[in-house]
Amino acid sequence: MPELPELQVISERLTDLLRGHSLTKVSVHNHIVVHGRTVEDFSSTAIGETFERVEADGKFLILMLNQHDIVINPMLTGRFRVFERYKKPTSIDMVSIQTDGPALWYSDTKKMGRVYLVPKGDYSIVAGFANRGPSALDPTLTVEAFMQRLKFHNGQIKNVLRNQRFVKGIGNAYADEILLYAGILPFRKRSSLSHQETEQLYQSVRNVLTRIREILAERSLDEISKEKRDFLMIHNKGGGICPLCGGRVSEVHANRFKTNYCQSCQK
Ligand SMILES: [Zn+2]
């Protein structure tokens, strides 16, 4: 699942590759991901418009054209790739956007992602877009602002971190990483955290996401799209060794999400 660090790096790469190019053909290879418009309308409306830039907004990617935005929520398995030459679509390809330069391909093995074409800046039809908090990496999100926002969110701290209404951009995997470095168990109630623990949590959000972003910035778009998260310290490491203390990594499953944590490092 691409989270904020992936989408920030992807958006910079796509901006470099696509900026200034105009749309010549939009093809829908699987209509299931297209929301809010008919396939015909989606494919024809923005032809001739030019790519201005691509932005990451929490867990959404926004392709900004002259008069429209294409908003993509890649959910669990959405991927972005750019090809210079024509390629044949495969069963995982959902939408391709051909320009007078390269083509952007959106693929999705689980087909759960959502793609919208909206008038510029009007995100009212995009599910889950409104009422989100500030970006987890927003420079104006100070420790004071973070702690103030935290007071309005109850329940287990991992669920609060993943709640886009609290801050946007953190998903299941990086929430585990953040909590390891903060030394806080994922099941702790938010209300049980001390002042010092919430400060640690803030620092951990910033440090972990920034570090991951720096690692991803060294990788190609193709490498990022394969989502080889070989830099994870605890998530997906159930039964393995905690890199901080050498103890055994624990694993719990809830719904379809996995949580990994260390019983010695996290209290
Ligand atoms: Zn440990």
Q: What is the pLDDT of residue 134?
A: 98
Residue 77 domain boundaries? 4-119
| 148 and 112 assigned to the same domain | no
> Is 233 part of any domain?
yes
**What's the gap in Å between 217 CA and the centre of ligand 1?**
28
> Is 132 part of any domain?
no
| 109 and 148 assigned to the same domain | no
Q: What is the pLDDT of residue 128?
A: 97
**pLDDT-based confidence at residue 10 (cuts at 50, 70, 90):** very high
> What tokens does 140 get?
């104006």
pLDDT tens-place string over residues 106-126: 999 999 999 999 999 999 999
**pLDDT-based confidence at residue 85 (cuts at 50, 70, 90):** confident
Find the mean pLDDT for residues 171-189.
Answer: 98
**What's the gap in Å between 181 CA and the centre of ligand 1?**
10
The count of domains in the chain is: 2
Q: Are 21 and 103 in contact (CB under 8 A)?
A: no
Q: What CATH number is associated with residue 96?
A: 3.20.190.10
| 28 and 86 assigned to the same domain | yes
**What's the gap in Å between 184 CA and the centre of ligand 1?**
11
**What's the gap in Å between 213 CA and the centre of ligand 1?**
23
Q: Is the pLDDT of residue 228 over 90?
A: no
